[in-house]
């Protein structure tokens, strides 16, 4: 414990290109870029399938595959074959392979959450909207999406927290982020450094968790209306 406190109290760990603030910024960029890619790819499809009440088997299989494939194996496969280990701007060495791997890891909770949220919207409300002359796109945008928003945010929250914790694997291919603290500690047999890096990742994950829980409450139409 004293070693951990000493590490946090050492100013050298908080300054320079390898300081905690820089690594934290890299980790945030890597996490949110990966989740954004997953959102762009998966969210529109999930919303439309949920609106049409189709594709449930596809969503279930996607979730099962996402849970079954080892993330480290996927990163190794991508970096050593099709995507390579080239540097990609701020995402560092094997940046493209890392982004694609983490985006695929973020897809299942986003797709499952959005699909389930839209399918779970009260059918009577949807039919009433159609009876008022709304088209399918308008029903999805103005009725289903607002009512499903809290659960959609919950799926995104799960994806962000999972990717945040998993993004430490970028350090395994000499990429950026907080994982470099942990891998450095392991390489030098410094348990205090490993624990310190892990604590930063864990506490940050809790902060992200709470932030998205608050956001889900803010977008809840029932709460806004005082219901």
The total of structural domains in the chain comes to: 1
- Enclosing H/E stretch for 58: helix 56-68
Note whether 198 and 192 are within 8 A (CB). Answer: no
Q: How far is Cα 189 from Cα 133, in angstroms, rounded to an integer?
A: 67
| CATH at 118 | 1.10.3720.10
Other C-beta atoms closer than 10 Å to the C-beta of 140 total: 21
Closest CA to 181 of 164, 205, 166, 197: 197
pLDDT tens over the chain, length 227 residues: 778 998 999 899 999 888 999 999 999 999 999 999 999 999 998 999 888 888 777 777 777 776 777 888 888 888 888 788 888 888 888 889 999 999 999 998 999 999 999 999 888 888 898 888 888 889 998 899 999 998 999 999 999 999 999 999 999 888 899 999 999 999 999 999 999 999 999 999 999 999 998 988 887 766 655 54
Name the nearest CA neighbour of 20 among 184, 150, 215.
184
**Apex 201 CA angle, 7 and 217, nearest 5:** 135
Domain membership of residue 10 as a residue range: 2-225
Q: Give Cα 214 distance to the centre of its chain.
A: 17
Q: How far apart, in whole angstroms, are the C-alpha atoms of residue 34 and residue 31?
A: 5
């Amino acid at each position: 414990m004293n070693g951990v406190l000493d590490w946090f109290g050492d100013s050298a760990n908080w300054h320079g290109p390898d300081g905690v603030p820089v690594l934290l910024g890299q980790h945030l960029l890597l996490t949110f870029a990966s989740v954004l890619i997953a959102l762009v790819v998966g969210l529109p499809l999930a919303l439309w399938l949920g609106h049409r009440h189709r594709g449930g088997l596809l969503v279930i299989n996607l979730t099962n595959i996402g849970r079954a494939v080892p993330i480290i194996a996927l990163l190794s496969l991508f970096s050593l074959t099709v995507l390579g280990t080239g540097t990609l701007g701020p995402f560092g060495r094997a940046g493209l392979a890392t982004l694609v791997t983490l985006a695929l890891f973020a897809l299942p909770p986003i797709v499952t959450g959005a699909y389930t949220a839209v399918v779970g919207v009260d059918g009577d409300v949807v039919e009433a909207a159609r009876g008022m002359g709304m088209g399918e796109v308008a029903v999805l945008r103005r009725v289903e999406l607002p009512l499903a928003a809290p659960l959609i945010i919950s799926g995104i929250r799960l994806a962000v927290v999972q990717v945040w914790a998993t993004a430490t694997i970028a350090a395994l291919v000499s990429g950026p982020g907080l994982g470099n603290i942990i891998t450095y500690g392991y390489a030098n047999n410094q348990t205090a450094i490993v624990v310190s890096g892990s604590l930063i990742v864990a506490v940050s994950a809790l902060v992200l968790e709470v932030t998205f829980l608050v956001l889900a409450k803010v977008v809840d139409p029932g709460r806004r209306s005082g219901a």
